[in-house]
Structure formats: C-alpha cells, structure tokens
C-alpha cells in the first residue's frame, strides 16, 4: 500500500490517503509511455465537495465515490446503502443521478437527500472540480515525488549572472571613461604648465613637462 498525507501540524489531525501501490505504479508507467511527467496525482473522491455534517456522492454505472469532511472512498455501487447507513450525516448531495429506493430506504429518516443536475458527465464534473483547485492530497509523495525541474534554479542563477554581468560592464565602462577623462585632464594640465613656464622664463629653450 502507498500512503500519502496532507500538511502536518502539531496537535491537529492529518489527512491521509491509502491506495494500493500497484495502481500508482500502473499510472506512472502509463504516463511514461505517453511521454508525460505530471506533477500531481489525486484521488477522484477527494475532488468532491465537502459539507459540514454532510456527504457528497457521485454515482457511476458500477462504482460510487463518497466524501465527507473526514473520509473519502470509492466502492462498488451495491455497497452504497451499507456505506451511507454507517455515516453520521444530516445531508447527502447526490451527483449524476438519484438514489434508488432500496438505498434510500437504508437511510435514517432524518437525513436529507438532495439530487443535482445529472446532465454533466462524471468525468467533466471531476475535471471542473479540479480546475477549481480544491484542497486535495497529492499522491505523488515518497518514492513517487517528481523531480524538481532544474530550469527554475538555472533561470534564477542566469538572471543573477546577467545582472552581475551588466554591473561589471557598467563598471568597466565607468573606469574606462574615468581613465580617458584623467588622461585628457593630465594633457591639458601639462600644456598649461609648459605655457606658464615659458611665460616666466622666456629665455629657456629646453622646456618639457618633466622639469616644469
């Protein structure tokens, strides 16, 4: 069996999903065959809405998905009445159909049963729930944890390197400009010094910046 859990907080209950490991292996092999590398895999039952003191049931031809605020399961449709009868709930929302009379007869008379629109196929309903990003437990944990794409760190360091390169280039340009300006200033100062020396000593013939 493969165990996956939700966030762990001190003093709080931890949500746990338990699934036969062979199922996960088969799905991973299927993804690899298709050339896909998904980052998450969730239980379809966990995509159902959660109601306080209530349960949501998704009917399919042979199986049923059930979720309460503390449990989620997939079971054969023949066992639906027994499963619902064991739940301490006040409301049952039924998706994609209605409860048959035999199943409804196994419920406590105080339990309210609501049936929604059955025009949306179950797969489309679950896909819509997935797009709404419900609070689910990712089954890809432990040995199935997907490798983090290296491009994230590469792009991060590439940005840092690019910024450092720009600053280095600006620094070199600034140093070059400062060097050129200093050279120009030195030449100008040298010419002015020679001119001043000749003005003071008009008879001197050998004049250069070294003896000024």
Helix (H) or strand (E) holding 132: none
Instruction: Give me the residue label for tokens 């840092």.
Output: 160
Percent of the chain predicted with pLDDT > 90: 12
- pLDDT at residue 25, as a whole number: 93
- pLDDT at residue 56, as a whole number: 92
Mean per-residue pLDDT for 73-92? 88
Q: What pTM was computed for the model?
A: 0.60
Q: What are phi and psi of 128, to 5 degrees?
A: -65, -40
- pLDDT at residue 172, as a whole number: 53
Per DSSP, the three-state class of 137 is coil
Q: What are phi and psi of 54, to 5 degrees?
A: -145, 175
Res. 180: pLDDT tops 80: no
Res. 204: pLDDT tops 80: no
By the 8 A CB rule, do 106 and 81 touch? yes
Q: What is the rounded distance in angstroms from the CA atom of residue 75 to the CA atom of residue 119?
A: 23
- pLDDT at residue 66, as a whole number: 92
């Amino acid at each position: 069996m493969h165990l996956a859990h939700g966030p762990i907080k001190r003093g709080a209950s931890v949500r746990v999903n338990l699934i036969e490991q062979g199922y996960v292996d088969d799905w991973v092999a299927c993804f690899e065959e298709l050339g896909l590398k998904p980052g998450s895999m969730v239980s379809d039952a966990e995509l159902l809405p959660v109601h306080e003191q209530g349960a949501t049931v998704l009917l399919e031809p042979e199986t049923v998905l059930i979720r309460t605020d503390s449990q989620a399961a997939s079971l054969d449709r023949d066992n639906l009445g027994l499963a619902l009868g064991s739940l301490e709930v006040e409301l049952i929302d039924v998706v994609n159909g209605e409860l048959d009379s035999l199943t409804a007869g196994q419920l406590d008379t105080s339990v309210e049963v609501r049936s929604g629109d059955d025009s949306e196929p179950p797969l489309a309903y679950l896909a819509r729930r997935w797009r709404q990003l419900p609070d689910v437990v990712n089954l890809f944990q432990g040995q199935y944890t997907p490798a983090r794409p290296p491009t994230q760190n590469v792009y991060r360091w590439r940005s840092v390197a690019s910024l450092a390169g720009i600053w280095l280039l600006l620094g070199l340009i600034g140093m070059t400009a400062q060097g050129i300006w200093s050279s120009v200033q030195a030449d100008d100062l040298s010419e002015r010094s020679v001119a001043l020396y000749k003005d003071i000593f008009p008879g001197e013939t050998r004049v250069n910046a070294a003896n000024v």
